Amino acid sequence: MNNFRLIMAPMAGVTDSFFRALVWEYGAEFTVSEMVSAKSIVYANKNTFRLMENNNIRPWAVQFFGHEPEILAEAIKRLEGFPFDIADINMGCPMPKIVKNGEGAALMANPSLAGKMIEAAVKASDRPVTVKIRKGFAGTANCVEIARIAQESGASAVAVHGRTREQYYSGAADWGAISAVKAALKIPVIGNGDIFTPEDAVSRLKESGCDGVMIARGALGNPWIFRRTQAFMETGVLPPPPAFAEIIETAVRHLHMVATSAENASGHGGHAPRIFEMRKHLGWYTKGMPGSAEVRRRLNNAQSAEEMEEILREIKI
């Protein structure tokens, strides 16, 4: 994540190879995979490797989660010839099934283990290792402590989501906590939380002193946020939002990127075919359009890419 100002945040179930290719085209300087289980890599789980497809978009990071330093190290070694640029460690996921297993945000409550995880990754990796953390847990907002441990353990950069584990993705992100991490470290710090507009990105960069920002929900159905933010940074002039026609054409193109993927014909691992995963994306693209609730209902019942495209092209404003 070094030297990148505009980064697409990793999002489970969202930042697959198709979506990352799209935001990269629209100006994301760096992208991160959905989080992948270190243990699943060691056991060669084929569904895990699907999460690491990339469509030749560089630079990018693979984000690992786990709680065993030796397993994390082995997973990284097994990907030695795999084409990615940074190994990122997830220490921020708030989901109960992850935290209960001592992974994700749970590592922030175990500073000693967090340090061992990072040290093991750095020793095993021939690429830079970065860490994504949260503010901490309610009552123990120890992001500065964990960030310092990350730096001392050899991490090349730290990304901070300014919410506690208990907040999940609600409430306001605490950019004061993110600024405190930046002030405490010498390595690059990336801020994450509540970046929904180009103005948000520029103001947060300025007030926090961070080296870059991660955009998450602000990019859903809105890959243009990167292009518009880049232009705003360079010129001070805010470009207009995309026209209706561009939104529809991009949604259709995204749809067909997924529909024509090799795996779509047979689905993957017994799960729903990939085309059905586009329903949520198309809902985001069409949010706020006339009759959007009915459009979403129809999209959720659609059984093919052709049917979905027909629904999109019927929208009029």
Which pLDDT belongs to residue 30? 95
Q: Do 160 and 282 lie in a common domain?
A: no
* 3-class secondary structure, 95: coil
Task: Answer yes or no: is 201 within a domain.
Answer: yes
Q: Do 137 and 257 lie in a common domain?
A: no
- Residue 135 · residue 163 · CB < 8 Å: yes
Q: Which residues are tagged catalytic?
A: 93
**Kind and range of the H or E run holding 176:** helix 175-184
Task: Answer yes or no: is 83 within a domain.
Answer: yes
Q: Do 153 and 117 lie in a common domain?
A: yes
Q: Do 45 and 167 lie in a common domain?
A: yes
Q: Do 268 and 213 lie in a common domain?
A: no
Q: How far are the Cα atoms of 53, 96, 175 from residue 132, in angstroms, in the given order?
A: 21, 18, 15
- Residue 71 · residue 58 · CB < 8 Å: no
Q: Do 254 and 214 lie in a common domain?
A: no
Task: Answer yes or no: is 1 within a domain.
Answer: no
If you search the block for the tokens 């359009």, which residue do you land on?
289
- Residue 181 · residue 188 · CB < 8 Å: no
Q: Do 130 and 270 lie in a common domain?
A: no
- Tell me whether the omega of the peptide bond preceding residue 59 falls within 30 degrees of 0, making it cis: yes
Q: How far is CA 5 from the centre of its chain?
A: 14
Q: Do 291 and 187 lie in a common domain?
A: no
Q: Cβ contacts of residue 99 below 8 Å, gap of 6+?
A: 93, 105, 106, 165
* 3-class secondary structure, 107: helix
Range of the domain at 98: 6-235
Please give the Cα distance from 231 to 55 (Å, whole number): 26
Which pLDDT belongs to residue 288? 92
* CATH code for the domain in which residue 141 is found: 3.20.20.70
Q: Which of 179, 204, 235 delimits the end of a domain?
A: 235
Number of structural domains the chain divides into: 2
Q: How many CB atoms lie within 10 A of CB 266?
A: 7
Which pLDDT belongs to residue 46? 80
Task: Answer yes or no: is 81 within a domain.
Answer: yes
Task: Answer yes or no: is 41 within a domain.
Answer: yes
Q: Residue 47: how many CA atoms within 13 Å on its side-chain side?
A: 12
Please give the Cα distance from 269 to 49 (Å, whole number): 12
Q: Do 219 and 143 lie in a common domain?
A: yes
- The candidate with the shortest Cα–Cα distance to 304, out of 251, 265, 249, is 265
157: which 2 tokens?
A: 């950069």
Q: Which of 235, 253, 275 delimits the end of a domain?
A: 235
Q: Which of 174, 208, 235 delimits the end of a domain?
A: 235
Which pLDDT belongs to residue 275? 86
- Residue 86 · residue 125 · CB < 8 Å: no
> Going by DSSP bridges, is the β-strand pair 6-8/157-164 parallel, antiparallel, or unpaired?
unpaired
- Cβ burial of 65 (10 Å; 0-12, 13-18, 19+) is buried
Task: Answer yes or no: is 159 within a domain.
Answer: yes
Residues of the chain with pLDDT under 70: 1-2, 262-272
Q: Do 128 and 268 lie in a common domain?
A: no
Q: Do 23 and 146 lie in a common domain?
A: yes
Q: Do 252 and 225 lie in a common domain?
A: no
If you search the block for the tokens 């970065």, which residue do you land on?
130
- Residue 291 · residue 218 · CB < 8 Å: no
